[in-house]
Structure 1
Amino acid sequence: MNNPRKPHEDRERDIFLAVTAIEKGRSKTGETKLSFSAVAREIGVSPALIHNHYPKAAEHIRQRLSKSSRVQRNLKQDQLKEARKKNVSYREEIKQLRLQVAKLATLNEMLGLENQKLKAQVESPNIVEFKKT
């Protein structure tokens, strides 16, 4: 990590070459698994240098690791869209269920009143109900 400063383009090229070398199993340091740390060790720099000063190279490594920020963002957006669709259908279902509950409550109240009338008739058979015509 005591390498003299290299021009930006040369260092970036070294990063891309190190990625390729690690993927093909031709690493100088014996790295076999691609990671930011492995690439940094391969070219003798810190992983932070790659993250902070070489965004194209960092994105390239993320893509190789299937952790691209764009891919992750798009995946999260797709998941959010799906969740919103489900949310809309759930809200509609809740609305329908609330209407059913209101209808059932009304029906239950009417049956309760009818039940009271029938109990009154059974308890007092002398009461006659008059129907309006």
Structure 2
Amino acid sequence: MKPKEKAANYKPAEDREKDLRLALLRIQKGRAKTGETKVTIAAVAREASVSKALIHNYYPSIAEAIRQVQGRSSRAMRDVKHQDLLAERKKSAGYRHEIEELRAKVSNLASINEVLLEDNRVLKAKLDDLKVVQLASKKPQG
């Protein structure tokens, strides 16, 4: 490639950013030269005749604008994740409280069970100590 041809591919950053914004606008309005209909970073890159990496690496504001059009801007995604985290923390606190209550109930039931087992042992011992005598029944005469 000749030096003059190589230089022709490079544009000042402001011009390239303008091209990218126009490409995004054309896709949004349904007037894309490439026939793109869905707004994605790849579609904007194709429409502006640049690589996706160029947008990601050198034009993060364009990438963010594309994400906003898609409804998934980094700020919105962060806010949604934060709300999800708060909801999960609340559920977790509820579960911890429930676990504490259940442990207290289990402890109480174990104590009652031990008392009943001891009562059972005592009653069995008393039963063994008793001498049960069976009286012979008299048959009525008659």
Tell whether the structures are fold-level matches, with TM greater than 0.5.
Answer: yes
Deviations 1:41-93 (A, max 9, x none): 11111011011111111100011112211111111111111111111111111
Q: TM-score, normalised by structure 2?
A: 0.81
Alignment of 1:72-91 (within 5 A): 72-91=77-96
In structure 1, the partner of 2:137 is none
Alignment of 1:20-35 (within 5 A): 20-35=25-40
Gap runs ≥5 in structure 2: 1-5, 132-142
Q: With a CA cutoff of 8 Å and minimum separation of 6, indicate the structure with the bigger relative contact order.
A: 1
**Counterparts of 2:129 and 2:22, CA distance in 1:** 100
In structure 2, the partner of 1:110 is 115
Higher-Rg structure is: 2
Alignment partner of 1:28: what SS?
coil
Q: TM-score, normalised by structure 1?
A: 0.86
Q: Runs ≥4 in structure 1, deviation > 6 angstroms?
A: none
AA in 2 matched with 1:75? V
**Counterparts of 2:130 and 2:113, CA distance in 1:** 25
**Counterparts of 1:83 and 1:7, CA distance in 2:** 47
**Counterparts of 2:43 and 2:90, CA distance in 1:** 42
Alignment of 1:1-133 (within 5 A): 4-126=9-131
**Counterparts of 2:72 and 2:56, CA distance in 1:** 14
Gap runs ≥5 in structure 1: 127-133
**Counterparts of 1:47 and 1:67, CA distance in 2:** 18
AA in 1 matched with 2:69? R
| Paired positions, count | 125
AA in 2 matched with 1:79? D
Identity %: 50
Deviations 1:81-133 (A, max 9, x none): 1111111111111111111111111100000111111222233325xxxxxxx
